[in-house]
Amino acid sequence: MTAPTTEKITRQDIESKLREIQGEVDDTAESAKGMAVAVGAAIAVGVVVVVFLLGKRRGKRGTTIVEVRRF
């Protein structure tokens, strides 16, 4: 630990530190936004593929044959 100092902390010191932290947070959020969009797109494509395959399977299984007779 560091030894306590007798200097007073001013409003300007607090504001400058908060601005520094805010800049880091903004940079991190901006880089994470691109990753989130890519992951969301991949999940959406995956859901569409799964729904397509399930619908295709159900369509084959539930086919009805209709016989038409002429007299």
Q: Is the dihedral of CA 26, 27, 30, 35 positive or negative?
A: negative
pLDDT digit string, tens, across residues 22-37: 888 888 888 888 889 9
Give, as one character, the DSSP assignment of residue 66: -
Q: What is the DSSP letter of 28?
A: H
**Dihedrals phi, psi of 26, to nearest 5 degrees:** -65, -40
pLDDT band at residue 3, thresholds of 50, 70 and 90? low
State the Cα–Cα distance between residues 60 and 52, nearest whole angstrom.
Answer: 13
Q: What is the pLDDT of residue 7?
A: 83
Sign (positive/negative) of CA torsion 11, 12, 15, 20? negative
pLDDT at 63 over 80: no
Kindly report the pTM of this predicted structure: 0.49
